[in-house]
Amino acid sequence: MPKPGMANFLTTDIYALTAEEYSLGRNNVEVVQLLITAGIKVIQYREKDKKAGQMYKECLLIREMTKKAGVTFIINDHIDLALLIGADGVHVGQEDLPPAKVRELIGNDMILGLSTHSPEQVKAAVALGCIDYIGVGPIFATRTKKDVCEPVGFAYLEYVAKNHQIPFVSIGGIKEGNIMDVKHHGAKIIAIVTDIVGAVDIPAKVQSIRQALKQC
């Protein structure tokens, strides 16, 4: 039985993330509504600097909105928050809690994603047997994360695409202007942050990006 939310994940093209700092004064709830209107089917809530209570209130609203719209909702890092609001899944990094322990906490029905930056890390992720998808990147330099590693470029992306069956999201500095290169190197699901949430007209931007992807 597929996990709730994985059907969207496996058929989507764009994996959207919140980033209120770059959202032109709009809050995350407003941005998520625009993402849903634009037809985005997978959304990750990623906030590093907000208070827990504020994130909880936001995510309660977003969970209600995404559930009603049939959109997969992933929480970055905050496992407790994901459990409290009934998210579809969580995404963790290499320096967060061990994925096997996260799986123990969230059970078998929630999606578990893991960021990876090297062939060794994807091999380890696959060997764990508890990861549903991985993040591959950062492909390019990115300013949306303060503790990000150096860009991995296309070599690692191509390696994952050619050698592993695990679903993956390409991430890191990807915008409409370079998205075709990313797709040409093996990406199927592409994470985009500032180019979407920082657009004046988010639905129009998503449509423009999807038009670009169709030309690949």
Residues classed as catalytic: 46, 115, 145
135-173 burial code (b ≥16 CB/10 A, e <16): bbbbbbebebbeebeebbebebbebbbeebeebbbbbbb
CA dist 189 → 38, 48, 69, 91, 103 (Å): 16, 24, 20, 15, 23
Quote the tokens at residue 197.
């949430």
Q: Residue 2 and residue 7: Cα distance in Å, rounded? A: 7
**CA angle, 90 as apex, 130 and 147 as ends, to 5°?**
105
What does the alpha-carbon distance between residue 137 and residue 173 come to, in Å, rounded to a whole number? Answer: 9
Please report the beta strands in the chain, taking only residues with DSSP state E, as ranges in sequence order. 14-17, 42-45, 72-76, 89-92, 111-116, 133-136, 168-170, 189-192
Q: Strand 168-170 vs strand 89-92: parallel, antiparallel, or unpaired?
A: unpaired
